[in-house]
Structure 1
Amino acid sequence: MASFVHRIEVHYKKDPREKIRTDRIRSLGFLIDELHLVEVYTIATVQKDVSRAELAEIGARLTNPVVQDFVVDEATRALFEYAIEVGFLPGVTDNVGATARQMIEDYLGISFGEGETVSSSSLYLVRGRLAPDVLARLAATLANPLVNRVSTKTRQEYGEAGMDRVVPQVRLHELPAAGTVDLAIPDAELARLGKEGIIDPQTGQRRGPLALDLAQLHAIRDYFNRSGRAPTDVEIESLAQTWSEHCKHTIFASAMDDDLPKGLYKTCIQAATNEIRAEKGDRDICVTVFTDNSGAIIFDDEYLVTHKVETHNSPSALDPFGGALTGIVGVNRDTIGFGLGAKPCINIYGFCVGDPATDPKLYRGRDGTSPILSPRQILDGVVRGVGVGGNCSGIPTPQGFCWFDDRYAGKPLVFAGTVGVMPREHEGRKLFEKKAEPGDLIVMVGGRVGKDGIHGATFSSEALDPESPVTAVQIGDPITQKKFSDVLVKEARDLGLYRSITDNGAGGLSCSVAEMAKECNGCHVELDRVPLKYPGMAPWEIWISESQERMTLAVPPDKLENFTGLLARREVEATVIGWFTDTGRCVVEYHGKVVMDIDLAFLHDGLPKKHLTTTLVKAVEPGPLPPCPDRLGDTLLAMLGRRNICSTEFVSIQYDHTVQGGHVLGPVQGKGRVQSVATLTKVVPGSKKGVGLSQALFHSYSEIDPYRMAGAAIDTAIRGLVAIGISPESIALLDNFCWCSSDEPERLWQLKQAAMGCYDYAKAFGTPFISGKDSMFNDFSGYDEENNRVKVSVPPTLLISSIGIHSDVAKAVSLDAKIAGDLVYVIGGTEEELAGSEYFAHLGAVGSTVPRLDAATARVRYTKLSDAIAHELVASAYPVGHGGLCVALAKVAIAGRLGMDITIPGTLRPDFFLFSETLGRFVVTVAPDHKRAFETALGADALLLGKTGGGRLRVTGRTLLLEQEIAALEEVYKAPFRGF
């Protein structure tokens, strides 16, 4: 308990962001006049007080004296009606407070001891009269009750004393030993144990989901019956993490129907890659696939690049900021944990959320308790989380997307990816290979362990419901991670100070240590040596906690002193917590008593095999075709304003995409700043090569034809890279399946069709999968306003990410039209394929024909176009995607702020030709003097539509179809998210 508590409040003399902050809150419906922000630091010490003079010095260093002032142990004076203070709950990571603490320690030359803290909070001073219920809603908007404490006072209550001094400290009862778990119980009780967790002996409450089904629990019971003893809670929790859907991907691994005895992963994803690599032979670009924390391809003779895309859906539904932040820093660690350590050099993101203009009334509990966050709150939080993770880590974030659908309102999808770069060898040692040896010490580096992140893996393996645990929520610390990332990748790796490394992600130490133990066949852990954030954690909590910013390494004993000394000089904590063995067992001790002793073979491979069956989904009724609109110009304006087509520049500009100095083609391009679908970044200084990235998803196709949906995503992700000049032969793919109701045969049939589509289209394009991830049970189960049970499932969603190596970034092309008089082509034919399209969604139609593609033919076309770009015959290129040809033409014109005069053939109904989403197409502009060479190169694939010039987009068929000012198109394209 702190003996001395002081409070420093930092306020603006003139806040430059006050208007933006106020306007944002007003846009959410709160009619306030002004919203001031005061930054608060609470310093709590036990042994020795901080003097008044020292507090003044600290305040001065927490303040920008040009625009800010501060007070110590006084209330900030200002004109306001209400004060709302938002701080973190005890145990929640407080990055600002931690940084302030380090600054104080460095400046004063002191060290804070146990129970001594520096915590941060935000004090909002509200001007404007609000009703009590509106004030409560405003406070709820500014905070998240799962991670924040909130205190509200009127001006009168605030008085002279101001807000209360609050010290957020965790207080736990000591739990010195592991308990045993009785599995000799009826199946009904066993099933409840798997769903709700072990009963805590102190509280009598269930600890949270194990996500174990009856067959799995029976297998565990049989194993321990053979061992002649009951399992400990540490062993049950460890098995639950290791066997979770999140970690073991049981649905993709299980036999399915009669035709897939090896399951979806081995039959579709892995098989496609293996066959492609065998066919390519010496032209194989893959280095490591599926076996490490990321996939890797050849960059050049000296370097390789890695890529991994993760999902953080369930945590982001509870705490969007923390969920997205831990998602991005977590996938950064997947990069650091690849081989012996790759340097994170590019971040990517993807957000699938509900319409931010809506506020669905859904609740995890009955009677309006535990409401879900609104889509706007989720969007704001995930955008900020990825931004903090990347910007604070010094990693550029050029590539990403936002997608909106009301079915993502119950549970959003949050994708986070990282590209890494590393030398292939160093002093004769292959850096992409690693192996722990018996006798190596188990060393944990980075952050300490707390209760945050407990049951994260098992929680992510289930639907979101009233029992979802708040302990699954974490907030990452990118500054701590940046420190150990640099010392490991830039120093310790090349000094040969460790033999193997992996991140502490899902399942924490229980998974990272046990996974590394497979390399040498055994481990022995002394759990009481693990550094904790606070005393009183139970051994099972220490073992499975997913507290962030931690890596596990295998360090030879003779290298330990050099390793720990190096990390200490870089202010990174490193602790020996055990050693690797060859016993074939995972043994864990706590204060000298064995709390876990399990065969590695059972821990990793004892999971009972399933045989899944699917049921054919009936075809969607297409409904009548809508009539052609009379005013296609107005239709184009409406299409450009759709949330899934319009500009999301408000996200892109929050992320630093030029840090590290490799920026070539960024997230917005051209004078008109149009959102790109592919980016290009140099990752090796001095090299003319670069890394291209693109992504695609077509969830609106999945309910109609999931097989073609997969083909559309693969084709579009590849075309994004071809459009900037990357050859299809240099492209690899990543798959992220996010499915709903994954125990329903109909949903499994859709999943099977999509996976088979991945196999066929990847094979046809010759683009191997190098990494992937599946996330099942993306459903919300709860209540509506009338207390009716409701289930909101995400649409079956497959994200395909592409990575490719550009041979010469100087020859890359952007999407914007360049010069008046250039010729405008569409590459590839157009068919009447509008089912699931943005155009039919705009018209309220359904349709039955999802775009199909002859991938083998398209592959030849893409090679021709990338060759034409390499020979500098192309001024701009843009892949036709959501919204069809007319939207693509408009975006190319807006980007260049240059009009077009276009004539389309009369082969299809005009609106169908303009808005069909037929795959395999590009809009390309070409200088007139390159016309002959370009048309010779592309042949019949190139259809000349017109030329650039003027200030309007004019489209003619048999008659004038539309004519719109480019300025008007740009205005509607950017309007939906202006002010976000």
Structure 2
Amino acid sequence: MTLWEIDVLPAAGQNDVAGQTLAADARDLGLDPNLTIAASRGFLLQGELSAEQVAQAAEQLLADSVTESATVAPMGDAVLAQSRTAADGVDLSQLVHVLPKPGVMDPVALSTLQALQDMGLPVEQVSTLRKYWLPAATDPAQLKRLCQKLLFNDSIERVVTGPLNLTKLDAGSDYQFSLQRVPIRELNDEQLLQLSKQGQLYLTLTEMQTIAAHFQGLNREPTDIELETVAQTWSEHCSHKTLAGRIAYTDENGSKQFKNMLKETIFQATVQIRQELGDDDWCVKVFSDNAGVVKFDDDYHVVFKVETHNHPSAIEPYGGSNTGIGGVIRDPMGTGLGAKPFCNTDIFCFAPPNTDPATLPPGVLHPRRVMKGVVSGVRDYGNRMGIPTVNGAVYFDPRYLGNPLVYCGNAGLLPVDKVEKEPLPGDYIVTIGGRTGRDGIHGATFSSAELTSESESISGGSVQIGNAITEKMVLDVMLQARDEELYSAVTDCGAGGFSSAVGEMGEKLGAEVWLDRAPLKYAGLSYTEIWISEAQERMVFAVPPEKLERMQELCAAEGVEASVIGQFVPTGMLRLMYDGQEVGSVAMEFLHDGRPPVVREATYAAPAVRQVELPAMDQAATEQALSAILGSLNVASKHWVIRQYDHEVQAGSAIKPLVGPQSNGPGDAAVVRPRLESQRGVVISCGMNPYYGDLDPYDMAASAIDEAIRNAVAVGANPTRIAILDNFCWGNTDRPETLGTLVRAALACHDVAIAWKTPFISGKDSLNNEFSWVDEAGVKQTLAIPPSLLISAMGQVEDVAQCVTMDLKEAGNPIYLVGATHRELGGSHVLQVLEKSGGQVPKVRLGEAQAIFQAVHAAIRAQSVRACHDLSEGGLAVALAEMAFAGQLGLSVDLQEALGQAGIEATELLFSESNSRFLIEVDVAHEAEFKRLLGSVPCVRLGEVVEGANVTIAAADRTLVDRPWQALFEAWHRPLDWA
């Protein structure tokens, strides 16, 4: 057996793009402004291979013969380049190798191994590697800093400086079975908490006491796998125990006792809406499956889910976001009997990418590195699975430094006769897809804990690495098996691994699991590691015995591994076996109903509203403020992110993220035809504004719902058929004041949903998004994220051809402002660029807003609207600029009439971010019809579209803005123009 190394380098005359990019990143991170670096990718091949066979592999598969060259040699051979010379003559003889740590998922290596074996080559194992050459004179301290901050990630990779001398690839050693019991019954409170923390169980003292009492009653100690099973099931990530707990809430209006806060706010709103809809109820399945389900047409329902993957993305941005999108795709796949995904969404929250590297707390990756890793992780998974990423947003705030937020969503189509599922007694438990490894151990419990400067080293194993190709193969098999009715239930294997998947599927029945039959990536896994691993791309099915053979045939035909790992049995027990021995036995009742209720206090004290006055602003000051807002990170173009995603795959995208003649305008919402034989479309949009939460979380939540719905309405969605999803990301809710803000946001969700009949169909929360470290003075510091509520909306349109986009269409058409503008500058972008605070946060006026949404929808259906744009970040001035440069047309606007109606100053009208407003270009031939349809809704004509190059905004005889749309576009486009 020989270990061969293949180095793949740029061919002669080709730029070393990887090396140049790393040098630029080093400058961006403040590491070395003059760094010269060369890079290559490579492979390690293990097997009885000849030199000719390895050369064949390199030439035919591993290197591009046009742009790359490959060097092949046995490991350690002098033929492999130990130094390189840069284009400027710099001697690069400091060599650095980066490889995955043993046990870390290596998707490229797996695909390479399969391809080489398909070529008939006797390859046993493959590993990828990266090589870097740095200047010979690189200082050791500088080299260490470069490695840690730029070249590798210690949570998943290992680094070797100098020559690489391996004799074989680590495949793990055989596991020697030994049943482990955990003494818990006699532990005192301090010892119980210590066990919870050191074992990465992250359970509370009351929960640990309940477990101890349970096993005292059984007169035995728990095994390690039993304790882990309870911890996974009771984790915040899996059980949402804070939101669904008992909360004593107090604010200025008095006190309220919640027995189940989530059920009494968001759930209750949906229940009430469905009762009021009666026979017209268009919800199918809400809060009872992996994703929400609503009616779409006679043949299919639409499924929608949005998840978070924050903690893993903070530690390993690429792997965390990669498996975040992969995991949420499996949610619709595991809903009912399996939905086919047709589009993805993503929303990210980062610290500013220009953050000074010297200010980073220990254990924190630089925001620029996090941002690049997160975006590429989502990009690679969605693009490789052939699912378009059609909608999203990016938000920036310094408080996301230790805890970036990664929201990923997926929508799918589910046949109307495939909604219900239930495992039956005797059904086999069948897992298909990826093999099980140590990746993802303690992922569910880790996601429920606060991050610290030590999280990377303690919880690095919680990070999973995804393989989109495997998941695509699993999807293909699942859809065939579904249509052949080969299984009675399916779920995804996500947080908690087999523990959660099998435990939830068998909750009302019972299950026996044979852990030694689970296929493994490598030897050496214990029975507990097999049970709780969150290795990706696995689905669990309940397959009747008589249909097992056909299920296995389908899997084999698609090259997907299928294994029987147990059976559903009507015992009410979860029995875990390994090699014929019982290693765990837990009552389903205790597992799912035995957790003691979380009891919390929540308080909210509204901060006093401080009035804020804008300074007097002449034309120069107004134009400067507008350009500054357009160029601020939260408003500026996100084209660097958007253009990395495939929007066209599956051919159903009708309105994409960027719109207009040059696809340069920020679209309000995505529209997708999930069935190409039909014109019926699904509308996907979102709403979020963390800055409002600093002033009033109730108004923040209401504004997020308003924004999500008006974005959907702006492209043509019917406001009476919009479903919404909530994703709460909060700080440490053990603090009453922090939990109080969350309760107040949930109350707003309840009130707005009922008023507008927009039911919540699914949701997810991610708590404890805080980062702590000890500073140089030995003092503990904590950085909490701002209260961050994402609202995702899913609407419908009868005919995508009748949808509208936000770019201006034709000179001579009038421009109307629809909706009322108020003196609401709190949390606004104009105050941020002017470095001021205070003001009234925008409120939602429920009845007025509902009338506006319905009137705008009626006007769009009547085809009197040529362009429609919602007013959000930056207000009216930004919306005017965006519509102009998106359509590459000018605007002539006079605010005088609007000022008379609003009773506010011109700069307030331009920059207020009041809710429920639209800027609409009306077909001049249908202007009278438009005004009739708007009726009594606040509506004022501002001006018209013009052929000229300028956006001109005046108030009577005073010019406020007169700038070329091209200049405004450049201000908006430049900040994140990294491509």
Q: Which amino acid aligns with 1:461?
A: S
1:206 is matched with: none
1:353 is displaced (CA, Å) by 0.9
1:437 is matched with: 424
Stretch moving more, 712-721 or 124-133: 124-133
2:451 is matched with: 464
1:169 is matched with: 170
1:649 is displaced (CA, Å) by 0.4
Stretch moving more, 99-108 or 778-787: 778-787
1:328-362 deviation per Cα after TM superposition (whole angstroms, max 9, x unaligned): 00011111101111111101111101011004557
Maintained 8 Å contact 2:351/2:398: yes
1:563 is displaced (CA, Å) by 0.5
Alignment of 1:802-841 (within 5 A): 802-841=793-832
Q: Which amino acid aligns with 1:793?
A: A
Maintained 8 Å contact 2:289/2:336: yes
Q: Which amino acid aligns with 1:599?
A: A
Distance 2:920 2:135 in 1: 53
1:177-210 deviation per Cα after TM superposition (whole angstroms, max 9, x unaligned): 331111111111111112221xxxxxxxxxxx10
1:86 is displaced (CA, Å) by 2.4
Maintained 8 Å contact 2:16/2:39: no
1:144 is matched with: 153
Distance 1:908 1:17 in 2: 58
1:651 is displaced (CA, Å) by 0.3
Distance 1:843 1:622 in 2: 16
Distance 2:535 2:760 in 1: 30
Q: Does 1:538 align with 2:526?
A: yes
1:427 is matched with: none
CA 1:168–1:976: 2 relative to 1, 3 Å: farther
Alignment of 1:115-154 (within 5 A): 116-126=124-134, 131-140=139-148, 141-153=150-162
Q: Secondary structure at the match of 1:457?
A: helix
Distance 2:776 2:658 in 1: 41
CA 1:330–1:167: 2 relative to 1, 3 Å: farther
1:207-228 deviation per Cα after TM superposition (whole angstroms, max 9, x unaligned): xx10111111111111111111
Distance 2:173 2:911 in 1: 61
2:89 is matched with: none
Maintained 8 Å contact 2:668/2:714: no
Q: 1:704 aligns with which of 689, 695, 704?
A: 695
CA 1:318–1:361: 2 relative to 1, 3 Å: farther
Maintained 8 Å contact 1:88/1:168: no
Q: Secondary structure at the match of 1:511?
A: helix
Distance 1:511 1:621 in 2: 46
Q: Does 1:401 align with 2:393?
A: yes
Q: Secondary structure at the match of 1:723?
A: helix
Maintained 8 Å contact 1:88/1:147: yes
Q: 1:547 aligns with which of 531, 535, 545?
A: 535
2:251 is matched with: none
Alignment of 1:548-567 (within 5 A): 548-567=536-555
1:104 is matched with: 116
1:748 is displaced (CA, Å) by 1.1
1:50 is matched with: 49
Distance 1:5 1:538 in 2: 28
1:836-871 deviation per Cα after TM superposition (whole angstroms, max 9, x unaligned): 111112222222411112222211221121121122
- Count of residue pairs the alignment pairs up: 940
1:586 is matched with: 574
1:625 is displaced (CA, Å) by 3.0
Distance 1:810 1:167 in 2: 60
Q: Secondary structure at the match of 1:7?
A: strand
2:85 is matched with: 79
Q: Which amino acid aligns with 1:448?
A: R
1:589 is displaced (CA, Å) by 1.0
Stretch moving more, 169-178 or 4-13: 169-178
Q: Does 1:380 align with 2:380?
A: no
Stretch moving more, 739-748 or 35-44: 35-44
2:629 is matched with: 639
Q: Does 1:69 align with 2:78?
A: no
1:437 is displaced (CA, Å) by 0.4
1:951 is matched with: 949
Q: 2:504 aligns with which of 490, 500, 515?
A: 515
Maintained 8 Å contact 2:232/2:445: yes
CA 1:254–1:442: 2 relative to 1, 3 Å: same
Distance 2:191 2:348 in 1: 38
Q: 1:659 aligns with which of 649, 652, 675?
A: 649
Q: Secondary structure at the match of 2:419?
A: coil
2:192 is matched with: 190
Q: Which amino acid aligns with 1:638?
A: A
Distance 1:671 1:165 in 2: 56
Maintained 8 Å contact 1:32/1:128: no
Stretch moving more, 732-741 or 629-638: 629-638
1:853 is matched with: 844
Q: 1:419 aligns with which of 408, 411, 417?
A: 411
Stretch moving more, 935-944 or 718-727: 935-944
1:265 is displaced (CA, Å) by 1.1
Alignment of 1:746-757 (within 5 A): 746-757=737-748
Distance 1:236 1:298 in 2: 41
Q: 2:467 aligns with which of 477, 489, 509?
A: 477
Distance 1:473 1:707 in 2: 34
1:481 is displaced (CA, Å) by 0.8
1:29-53 deviation per Cα after TM superposition (whole angstroms, max 9, x unaligned): 44357654422011012xxx10111
1:957 is displaced (CA, Å) by 1.2
Distance 2:482 2:852 in 1: 43
Q: Which amino acid aligns with 2:52?
A: A
Q: Does 1:210 align with 2:201?
A: yes
2:588 is matched with: 600
Maintained 8 Å contact 1:361/1:785: no
Maintained 8 Å contact 1:336/1:343: yes
Q: Secondary structure at the match of 1:417?
A: strand
2:610 is matched with: 622
Q: 2:787 aligns with which of 796, 813, 827?
A: 796
Distance 2:22 2:188 in 1: 56
Stretch moving more, 521-530 or 617-626: 617-626
Q: Does 1:503 align with 2:492?
A: yes
1:138 is displaced (CA, Å) by 3.0
Q: Secondary structure at the match of 2:761?
A: strand
1:448-483 deviation per Cα after TM superposition (whole angstroms, max 9, x unaligned): 111111111111111002254111111111111111
Q: Does 1:574 align with 2:562?
A: yes
1:929 is displaced (CA, Å) by 1.3
Distance 2:670 2:634 in 1: 19
Q: Which amino acid aligns with 1:817?
A: L
1:237 is matched with: 228
* Structure 1: runs of 5 or more not aligned: 154-161, 198-208, 425-429
Maintained 8 Å contact 2:223/2:584: yes
Q: Secondary structure at the match of 2:40?
A: strand
Maintained 8 Å contact 2:29/2:366: no
Distance 2:489 2:327 in 1: 18
1:512-543 deviation per Cα after TM superposition (whole angstroms, max 9, x unaligned): 00100024x10011111111112222221111
Distance 1:649 1:771 in 2: 29
1:20 is displaced (CA, Å) by 5.6
TM-score by length of 1: 0.93
Q: Which amino acid aligns with 2:10?
A: Y
CA 1:872–1:124: 2 relative to 1, 3 Å: farther
Q: Secondary structure at the match of 2:377?
A: helix
Stretch moving more, 79-88 or 19-28: 19-28
Distance 2:565 2:266 in 1: 37
Maintained 8 Å contact 2:360/2:366: no
1:88 is displaced (CA, Å) by 1.1
1:743 is displaced (CA, Å) by 0.6
Distance 1:302 1:433 in 2: 15
1:902 is displaced (CA, Å) by 0.9
1:916 is matched with: 912
Q: Which amino acid aligns with 1:436?
A: P
Distance 1:487 1:538 in 2: 29
1:541-600 deviation per Cα after TM superposition (whole angstroms, max 9, x unaligned): 111111111111100001111111210121111111110011111111112221111110
2:971 is matched with: 972
Give the percent of matched residue pairs that are identical in Structure 1 and Structure 2. 39
1:259 is displaced (CA, Å) by 2.6
